[in-house]
Amino acid sequence: MQKRGREEERERSEAKTGHRLVGARSGSEMKVMVAVKRVVDYAVKIRVKPDKSGVETSNVKMSMNPFCEIALEEALRIREAGTAAEVVAVSVGPAQCVDTLRTALAMGADRAIHVDAGAAPVLPLSVAKILKALVQVEQPGLLILGKQAIDDDCNQTGQMIAGLLRWPQGTFASKVVLDKEKQVATVEREVDGGIETLSLDLPAVITTDLRLNQPRYATLPNIMKAKSKVIKKVTPAELNVELKPDLEVVQVAEPPKRKAGVIVSSVDELIHKLKNEARIL
């Protein structure tokens, strides 16, 4: 039943775009697309801007989101295992995203695409729409993303794009096993209760969690080679995606400073304080 629905959808999108969904089917030509995000480096101590409009990002070290690195590493391992032929790295953001994509190329991605969305931060739904348009062009058999970005902690993009594409999703993946012939991905997910194992028909969306793998270092020779690789640049307009900001950041403030504790002299005093000062009882 699910298969029939998908076949119909394929025919419909084939008719719309004129592309044959060849790549998604045959494993030997399977492409893996990895979406990466340029964020404030995790080791940096962030500060709120004095006007409370956001976090200070000027003069601050930026690097690839750690979960995106894990996603890229997983894609590279899938290609090295022979299950996929090509790894394409994609990033949506301002011009400096190119640095992040170069790191992705240095780690081993075959191609990179930069979607220049200008300087304003792009929210998950917009990213999902852009990725959907790219997926329809590139036809990957698998889309891997990090589970969330460490700057906004949204944890939405993977799920949204799976919904837009109507693809199965395996989020918080801690283990991914692909079966080329059956075109199935077995994903172990870290959920609150433990580990959940899902079987997804390809093409699918996977978002990666911390324990999936240890990303490799980009070696110096690879970094040198990556400098000369071409990064394709597109704009949202070319993809027929309209970026409508549906959220507005009203204020960003630091968490209130932790007040010093008070040592109480008796249980009665404790109860008195909890009742009258903290108003918990």
Partner 1 sequence: MYRSALSAITSKSRRPLRSPFFSPFRAETPIISSVSPYPGPESRLPIPSNRFSSFRDPPSRASFAPSICFPDWSPGLRRRVVSRTRGLCGGSGDRESLEYDVVIVGAGPAGLSAAIRLKQMCLERNADLSVCVLEKGPEVGAHIISGNVFEPRALDELIPQWRHEGAPIEVPVSSDKFWLLTENHSLQLPSPFDNKGNYVISLSQLVRWMAMKAEEVGVEIYPGFAASEILYDENHRVIGVATNDMGVAKDGSKRETFQRGVELKGRVTLLAEGCRGSLSEKMIRAHKLREKVQGQHQTYALGIKEVWEIEEGKHKPGSVLHTVGWPLDMKTYGGSFLYHMSNRQIAIGLVIALNYHNPYLNPYDEFQKFKHHPAIKPLLMGGTVLEYGARTLNEGGFQSIPYSVVPGGAIIGCSAGFLDVPKIKGTHTAMKSGMLAGEAAFRTLVEGATMETYWDNLKKSWIWEDLKRARNYRPAFKYGLIPGLAFSALERYVFRGRLPLTLKHGKPDHEATDIASLHAPIQYPKPDGQISFDVPTSLYRSNTNHEHDQPAHLHLRDSTVPELVNLPLYAGPESRYCPARVYEYTPDENHRLKLHINAQNCLHCKACDIKDPRQNIKWTVPEGGGGPGYTIM
Residues 6+ apart with CB under 8 A from 178: 78, 81, 83, 84, 142, 184, 185, 186, 202
Positive/negative CA dihedral, 192, 70, 61, 154: negative
Q: Which is nearer to partner 1, 59 or 266 (CB)?
A: 59
To partner 1, the closest distance from the beta carbon of 9 in angstroms equals 39
Q: How far is the CB of 48 from partner 1 (least distance, A)?
A: 11
Shortest Cβ 91–partner 1 spacing (Å): 18
- Smallest gap from Cβ 224 to partner 1, in A, equals 7
By beta-carbon proximity to partner 1, the closer residue of 227 and 232 is 227
- In 200-239, which positions are buried (b, 16+ CB within 10 angstroms) versus exposed (e)? bebbbbbbbbeebbebeebeeebeeebeeeebeebebeeb
> Which of these, 251, 55, 230, 232, lies nearest to 149 by C-alpha position?
55
Q: Which is nearer to partner 1, 18 or 221 (CB)?
A: 221
Q: Which residues bind partner 1 (CB under 8 A)?
A: 41, 43-45, 47, 59-61, 63, 214-217, 219-221, 223-224, 227
d(CA 159, CA 155): 8
Quick one: 15 or 43, whose CB is closer to partner 1?
43
Q: Shortest gap between Cβ of 138 and partner 1 (angstroms)?
A: 28
Cα-Cα-Cα-Cα dihedral of 91, 94, 100, 105, to 10°? Answer: 60
Residue 166 or 257 having the CB closest to partner 1: 257
CB nearer to partner 1: give 43 or 267: 43
Least distance to partner 1, CB of residue 62, Å: 9
- In whole angstroms, give the CA distance from residue 167 to residue 74: 19
Q: Give me 220's structure tokens.
A: 């110096």
